[in-house]
Chain A
Amino acid sequence: MSKVLLKLENLTMKFGGVTALNEVNLEVREGEILALIGPNGAGKTTVFNVITGVYQATSGSVTFDGHNLAGRKRFQITGLGVARTFQNIRLFGDMTTLENVITATDVHKKSGLVGALFGTPRARREEKENRAKAHEILQFIGIDEYADRLAKNLPYGVQRRLEIARAMGTSPKLLLLDEPAAGFNPQEKVELGATIKKVRDAGYTVLLIEHDMSLIMGISDRVAVLDFGTKIADDSPAVVQNDPRVIEAYLGVPADAS
């Protein structure tokens, strides 16, 4: 079994009286696609927010690649190799597609303001590397033809894909995708599913929030289910699909009552 890349231990997140996450344990192994599912408000996005440092967990711990993430700044967590997309698209709308990705590729670059000002060899080289890498990612995701378009003018589906491309720009080990297929028609979902698989096969580990069962069943290695902030299942897609607790959470009725 491959090594554990991300580990959540007894993770609890409270917002005032609301317990968004309740003692959640979760392991993501290197090279897998783990789907995180659950009804609206179950706490899925909150998991991403705690991992990426947007919120500090009320209790419990997040360990990534041997590093305890508690108290780290958000950009440092990104630098360690965790990158995410947003459920509600948050691209840099006034930048071009290419610039969106280049902004992300900067995270591992050393040159800063002084290098930029004086055009040091390192700064020039890194600019070149950024550009090449960004084009490579855009090609990989299949949206390189939009490289010079402003992000805000892109078609919806391309924006969703650019979210993924931008996250990949940070050279992450772990990609957190928050409902990347939201608003897609069945055909687009199939295509996106293929892209996500391709991303994983290229060596990334993927933690995927998604609602569409057929998409999940098609691509994920494992499925974890959240309901009201508690993990109620964590197993292979086939097993989870037939778990009465999961069916109850989704349909709102006990499985045996139907």
Chain B
Amino acid sequence: MKNFNLRDFGAGIWERSNRYQRVAIVLVTITLAALLPFAGASFLATPVAAYDAVLVYPVAIFVLMSLGLNIVVGKSGMLDLGYVAFFAIGAYTNGLLSMHTGLNTWEIMPIGIGAAMFAGVLLGIPTLRLRGDYLAIVTLGFGEIIRIVALNVSWTNGPNGISGIQMPPPILGKEFALDDQKLFFWVVLVMILLTIWMIRRLTVRRPGRAWEAIRQDEDAAELMGVPTLKYKIWSFTLGAAIGGAAGVLYAAKNLFISPEMFTLNVSILILACVVFGGIGNIWGVILGGAILGYLPDRIRFISDARLLVFGLVLVVVMNFRPDGLLPRKKREKALVKKGASA
């Protein structure tokens, strides 16, 4: 059991599969994920909050945000403690635009993503020259600034927040409803799948190599011709885009937003999902987001002391599995040629 490693087990199955088997694995996995909202009558049921609503938020949205933050923290090694800022920008873009314009959620989505990316670039250009602790502090400050601005200016309604955000318009004739959030879950699921697709595309090609090189040795990377600042800004901006998208969805799901939803706690929580699940590994991160999103709603007493229990669980798990549940640790190709093992 000591040698069993779920990550390597999964990777092994994937590597041994041929093309058709892989397609089958993907389709089955997606189908199972899509069927999750129907499993509410099983052991998965949540005692207090509606199960299908829990699946949308926190579970799916946490997964989405974890994937986004993982690009920044896991793939490129930059500690961002202000990720909530982009979530807030997405949410407020939706809130403000649906208050002042007739745009619907899907029309607002690209604007929300764009606004978050713009903020990412704006923050990234001056600060991504900083490293490690300094970057962490600046991003932490940025997260707080966004919240404090939302709290104190009049056009966001300050502490009262924005209510009456529009529900998304129907998709394929199916209406969104408060008491049945399956459709909403599927929408977020599609966003998650798109994000996974994007990350996988990028990581096997040049951007992924650049991020990996930056994470491991930024100076050596630059000297090997990697335009490090450019790829750091890209990483930060893509993370921001996903955070922004999550924010737009969150506002559309909650129909009400206020500054106290966007505190430092959110940044820390998402970071916890990333680290807990397996920093740098998208499957680990998905697992981390899903577990840490879901458990507090499943086990009643946890929700009362959420942060305390989170902290304890993290301390314990990190002791036994310092690289998370599904670590990034890359396996060498199984077939090492004879003689190379000298």
**B223 engages A54 (CB within 8 Å):** yes
Asked if A103 lies at the interface with its beta carbon under 8 angstroms from chain B, I say yes
Contact stretch, chosen from A57-65, A104-112, A195-203: A104-112
Shortest distance from the beta carbon of B25 to any chain A beta carbon, whole Å: 21
Q: In residues 162-218 of chain B, which contact A (Cβ within 8 Å)? A: 198, 201-202, 205-210, 212-213, 216-217
Tell whether A94 pairs with B216 under 8 Å between CB atoms, given A106-B209, A112-B207, A117-B198.
yes
**A75 contacts B228, C-beta separation under 8 Å:** yes
Q: Which residues of A contact B205 (CB under 8 A)?
A: 115-116, 123, 127
B216 in complex: contacting residue of A73, A92, A108, A117, CB < 8 Å: A92
Q: How far is it, in angstroms, between the C-alpha of A79 and the C-alpha of B206 when the chains are bound?
A: 16
Quick check: is A146 within 8 A (CB to CB) of the other chain?
yes
- Provide the residues of chain A in CB contact with B141, threshold 8 Å: none
Cβ-closest chain B residue relative to A108: B225
Interface contact B340-A117, CB-CB below 8 Å? no
Are B224 and A104 in contact, with the CB atoms below 8 A? yes
Q: In whole angstroms, how far apart are the Cα atoms of A83 and B223 in the complex?
A: 7
**Which B residue sits closest to A74, measured CB to CB?**
B222
Most buried by A among B201, B208, B220, B339: B220
- The answer to whether the Cβ of A113 comes within 8 Å of any Cβ in the partner chain is yes
- Complex Cα–Cα for A169 and B217 (A): 17
A12 CB to closest chain B CB (Å) equals 22
Q: How far is the CA of A54 from the CA of B219 in the complex (A)?
A: 9
Binds B, one of A27-35, A147-155, A183-191, A227-235: A147-155
Select one of B212, B222, B333, B335 contacting A75, CB under 8 A.
B222
A45 at interface by CB-CB < 8 Å: no
A95 part of interface (Cβ distance < 8 Å): yes
A116 adjacent to B206 (CB under 8 Å): yes
- Cβ–Cβ contact B224 & A94, under 8 A: no
How far does the alpha carbon of A73 sit from the alpha carbon of B226 in the complex, in Å? 11
**Bound CA span A74–B208, Å:** 20
State whether A113 touches B234 (Cβ < 8 A): yes
CB-based contact A116/B207 at 8 Å: yes
Query: Interface range on chain A: under 10, 10 to 19, 20 to 34, or 35 or more?
Result: 35 or more
Q: Mark A81-122, 1 if CB is under 8 A from B, else 0.
A: 001101000111111100100111011110111011101000
- Known contacts: A75-B228, A94-B330. The answer to whether A109 contacts B206 by CB under 8 A is yes
Closest Cβ–Cβ distance, residue A168 to chain B (whole Å): 11
Contacts of A150 in B (CB 8 A): 330, 332
Which residue from B217, B225, B335 sits with its C-beta under 8 Å from A92?
A: B217
Residue B153 is within 8 A (CB to CB) of chain A in the complex? no
* Contact partners of B220 in chain A: CB under 8 A: 86, 90-92
**Contact call A103/B209, Cβ cutoff below 8 A:** yes
Partner of A149, one of B202, B208, B224, B332: B332
Please name the residue on chain B nearest to A157 by beta carbon.
Answer: B342
Given the known interface contacts A94-B330, A107-B225, the answer about A149 and B336 at a Cβ–Cβ threshold of 8 Å is yes
B313-342 interface with A by 8 A CB criterion: 330, 332-333, 335-337, 339-340, 342
For A149, the chain B residues whose CB sits under 8 A away are: 332, 336, 340
Count of chain B residues near A, Cβ 8 A: 34
Contacting residue for A94 out of B207, B208, B212, B227, CB 8 A: B212
B221 contacts A by Cβ under 8 Å: yes
In Å, the complex CA distance between A109 and B234 comes to 17
Residues of A within 8 A of B234 (CB): 113
How many Å lie between the Cα of A79 and that of B208 in the bound state? 20
A123 and B225 alpha carbons, distance in the complex (Å): 18
Are the CB atoms of B206 and A170 closer together than 8 Å?
no
Q: Which residues of A contact B332 (CB under 8 A)?
A: 96, 148-150, 153
- By beta carbon, the residue of chain A nearest B229 is A73
Contact in complex: A170, B225 (CB < 8 Å): yes
The yes or no answer to A205 lying at the interface (CB within 8 A) is no
Most interface-central of A54, A111, A112 (chain B CB within 10 A): A112
Q: For A73, what are the chain B residues with a Cβ–Cβ distance below 8 Å?
A: 222, 227
Q: Which residues of chain A have C-beta atoms less than 8 A from B227's C-beta?
A: 73, 75
CB distance from B240 to the nearest CB of A (A): 14
Contacts of B201 in A (CB 8 A): 116-117, 119
Could you list which residues of chain B lie within 8 angstroms of chain A, going by C-beta atoms?
198, 201-202, 205-210, 212-213, 216-217, 219-228, 231, 234, 330, 332-333, 335-337, 339-340, 342
| A-B contact list, 6 entries, CB within 8 Å | A90-B219, A94-B212, A112-B207, A113-B234, A115-B206, A169-B224
A interface list, Cβ under 8 A from B: 52, 54, 73-75, 78-79, 83-84, 86, 90-96, 99, 102-104, 106-109, 111-113, 115-117, 119, 123, 126-127, 145-146, 148-150, 153, 155, 166-167, 169-170
- Which 5 A-B pairs give the minimum distances between C-beta atoms? A107-B225, A116-B205, A148-B333, A78-B225, A90-B220
Question: What 16 new A-B contacts, CB under 8 Å, besides A79-B225, A149-B332, A167-B224?
Answer: A75-B225, A75-B226, A75-B227, A75-B228, A84-B223, A91-B220, A102-B209, A103-B226, A106-B225, A109-B206, A112-B206, A113-B206, A116-B205, A145-B339, A149-B340, A170-B225
